[in-house]
Amino acid sequence: MGMTVAEKILSGHLVEGSLTPGGEIAIRIDQTLTQDATGTMACLQFEAMGLPRVRNELAVSYVDHNTIQVGFENADDHRYLQTVAARYGILFSRPGNGICHQVHLERLGVPGKTLLGADSHTPMGGGIGMIAIGAGGLDVAVAMAGGAFYLTAPRIVRIQLTGRLRPWVTAKDVILKVLQVFSTKGNVGAIFEYAGPGVATLSVPERATITNMGAECGVTTSVFPSDAVTRLFMQAQGREKDWRELLADPDAVYARTVELDLSGVEPLAAAPHSPDHIVTVASLAGLPVQQVLVGSCTNSSVQDVETVAAILKGRKVAPTVAFGVAPGSRQVLSMAAEDGRLADLINAGARILESACGFCIGNSLSPATDAVSLRTSNRNFEGRSGTASARVYLVSPPVAALAALRGAVADPMKEREVPYPVVVMPKAFRIDDSMFIVPPADASGVTVARGPNIGEPPRNAPLPVTLAGVAALRVGDKITTDHIMPAGARLKYRSNIPAYSQYVFEPVDPGFAKRATQNRDSGLHNFIVAGESYGQGSSREHAALCPMYLGVKAVIAKSIERIHTANLINFGILPLVFEDPSGYEKIAAGDRLSIDLIRVTLEKGAATVVVRNETQAVDIPVKLVLTDRQRKILLAGGLLNTFKA
């Protein structure tokens, strides 16, 4: 039987299990990436494993998320990351070199390899034909130590592309269309594999926009074949020697096929406050906008920035709009500078922002109260921009550019004044790797610099015999990791768990941390009760690590997202799923809960357990969807404890 692209790469890296969908497999990881917001913890955890040097093929540490440096903490993190990279053999990408996913695609990604990244948009590497997966920092630390990565053997869904995009319709609209079809829920355990004649019409940066934002569907990853178009990209990056062809066999079997005619896609937008809240741009026409931001890992390639510049050339941004552009990498920025596009942007009234995540993670450029902000990024969760009342719409770069000119959303398909600029991928990119710092072969002289904000990663105690405590919080559906562990202004505490823990659930219930601490200190275990899709969004393991620090022992939800489930297990928090969704109604915030002899239940391998609601005197059955390996980790109180053992 023929194989899909995903199966070819996975089978070449398989170390445990079989590719039959649903079971647990382990794969060898070739490359890893971390960024500053997840990397400090990942490196501290790697250090705790006691190895002299990283063991995987290529480990890269990027500094891109927090480059604001208000206070000393941020700069201390950067210095720690640079020195720890030199000490353990990690390639260091300096702040200013660009956003991890964009830079990795340009300079280091290789078709056919596996990449594990401590960031949920790592699947951007799928645009070049890699199996690139986002995970928590501890899983990435294990991969850096040469350990395998465990995941559910995926079901491969084929997205069969036909036709060709019309002018003003872009790769961003394709992934928004995919989000409309699949939504952010129900895709756990799937890989989206793009196929069909439409694939050849998309450049690698366009493919990467699509695989990047596939993360919002909750899939394991997304992948394109590595074909002649991929070869052109590798050539243009001076890396043709790393190219290899990787195509699906004609008789490959897919779990499901969805057809998507590119010529029928229209300009789309994700309306507040979810990436799958898809509307047409036409339906928004005339909506006044106060802010327009181009950038983020989804849409900050040379093609994206040049398209925006070409639309703005010789024109002026509306006086009511704050307009900013963050080129995704130093390569993009310097190319825009050299060919004059940067001047076009500046002359039009753009604020040129650093090649970093910045506004996308909400650490700068928060919109005004109630403002409408149009962004080319991938997430518009409530409050993520830093302004709770702002309404963020996700759109393509040309739609953003037109809105910046008009001061309101404009339907590009009705555009009369601005001709559509046809911008193709450059034949040769500008290559300069001098902002990568290669670790020395002999690191014996390197001292790792630790500032006062950098603490040991806390460890959990082994799972207690019985859990008894309180439903410290009850939340609804689609609680994202931005709700659980806000980034933005709080990012500087990523290396300081006691300090960061004070902000757990800050946007939902600012009193939570104090209450949970009091419960913990009086010997009560904290439970969190939630609806569907708990923990969607980012890979930040702090959304498990900090609750663990506050004494949270279990999350009981209608469903929990993939990366977050793994993070909960890694830190010894039980992920429990209501057997019947009505169980959710049987717990109120503050109720006393207990799970009798949970250790024994886990050891026996039982698939369900009963949560006793003492306050309401009801029993609520919940599922334990866990492998034997995960049960062992939970019993030990977390992965770090088992790794050491």
Binding residues vs ligand MIC (CB under 6 A): 37-38, 65, 119-121, 134, 361, 379, 487, 537-540
CB of 119 to ligand MIC, least distance (A): 4
Per CB under 6 A, 297 contacts ligand SF4: yes
Per CB under 6 A, 360 contacts ligand SF4: yes
The item of ligand MIC, ligand SF4, none sharing an interface with residue 296, based on CB under 5 to 8 Å by kind, is ligand SF4
Candidate list 13, 104, 113, 121; residue touching ligand SF4; CB under 6 A: 121
For residues 141 and 144, what is the distance between their CA atoms, to the nearest angstrom?
Answer: 5
Grouping H, G, I as helix, E, B as strand and the rest as coil, residue 524 is: coil
Sign, Cα dihedral of 235, 239, 242, 246: negative
Total Cβ atoms within 10 A of residue 351: 14
Per CB under 6 A, 7 contacts ligand SF4: no
Candidate list 152, 355, 376, 377; residue touching ligand SF4; CB under 6 A: 377
The item of ligand SF4, ligand MIC, none sharing an interface with residue 540, based on CB under 5 to 8 Å by kind, is ligand MIC
β-partners of residue 578 are 622
The structure tokens 């009086």 sit at 522
Tell me how many residues contact ligand SF4 (CB under 6 A).
11
Per CB under 6 A, 271 contacts ligand SF4: no
Q: Which is nearer to ligand MIC, 203 or 567 (CB)?
A: 567
Q: Please list the alpha-helical segments (H only) found in 214-286.
A: 228-236, 281-284
Q: Which of 258, 255, 261, 207 is closest to 229 using CA atoms?
A: 207
Please list, in sequence order, all residues whose beta carbon lies within 8 angstroms of the beta carbon of residue 445, skipping any fewer than 6 positions away.
none
The item of ligand SF4, ligand MIC, none sharing an interface with residue 38, based on CB under 5 to 8 Å by kind, is ligand MIC
Per CB under 6 A, 296 contacts ligand SF4: yes
For residues 599 and 465, what is the distance between their CA atoms, to the nearest angstrom?
Answer: 5
Q: Which is nearer to ligand MIC, 289 or 487 (CB)?
A: 487
Measured between alpha carbons, how far is residue 432 from residues 201, 296, 330, 542, 628 in Å? 28, 21, 9, 34, 47
CB of 167 to ligand SF4, least distance (A): 27
CB of 378 to ligand SF4, least distance (A): 5
Are the C-beta atoms of residues 446 and 360 closer than 8 Å to each other? no
Q: Which of 382, 337, 357, 353 is closest to 475 using CA atoms?
A: 382
Grouping H, G, I as helix, E, B as strand and the rest as coil, residue 447 is: coil
Per CB under 6 A, 119 contacts ligand SF4: yes
Q: Which is nearer to ligand MIC, 115 or 309 (CB)?
A: 115
The item of ligand SF4, ligand MIC, none sharing an interface with residue 8, based on CB under 5 to 8 Å by kind, is none
Q: Which is nearer to ligand MIC, 165 or 357 (CB)?
A: 357
For residues 333 and 306, what is the distance between their CA atoms, to the nearest angstrom?
Answer: 10
Token pair recorded at residue 1:
């039987």
Are the C-beta atoms of residues 19 and 7 closer than 8 Å to each other? yes
CB of 298 to ligand SF4, least distance (A): 7
Q: Which is nearer to ligand SF4, 4 or 377 (CB)?
A: 377
Per CB under 6 A, 378 contacts ligand SF4: yes
Please list, in sequence order, all residues whose beta carbon lies within 8 angstroms of the beta carbon of residue 122, skipping any fewer than 6 positions away.
33, 101, 115, 116, 132, 133, 134, 135, 221, 539
Q: Which of 200, 204, 227 is closest to 107 using CA atoms?
A: 204
Per CB under 6 A, 97 contacts ligand SF4: no
The item of ligand MIC, ligand SF4, none sharing an interface with residue 539, based on CB under 5 to 8 Å by kind, is ligand MIC
Per CB under 6 A, 99 contacts ligand SF4: yes
Token pair recorded at residue 588:
């109120």
Question: Position 403: which residue type?
Answer: A
For residues 138 and 116, what is the distance between their CA atoms, to the nearest angstrom?
Answer: 11
Window contacting ligand SF4 (CB under 6 A); options: 344-352, 356-364, 394-402, 630-638: 356-364
Q: Which is nearer to ligand SF4, 276 or 411 (CB)?
A: 276
For residues 361 and 65, what is the distance between their CA atoms, to the nearest angstrom?
Answer: 7
Q: Which is nearer to ligand MIC, 198 or 295 (CB)?
A: 295
CB of 101 to ligand SF4, least distance (A): 6
Q: Which is nearer to ligand SF4, 331 or 613 (CB)?
A: 331
Q: What residue ranges bind ligand SF4 (CB under 6 A)?
A: 65, 99, 119, 121, 296-297, 357, 360-361, 377-378
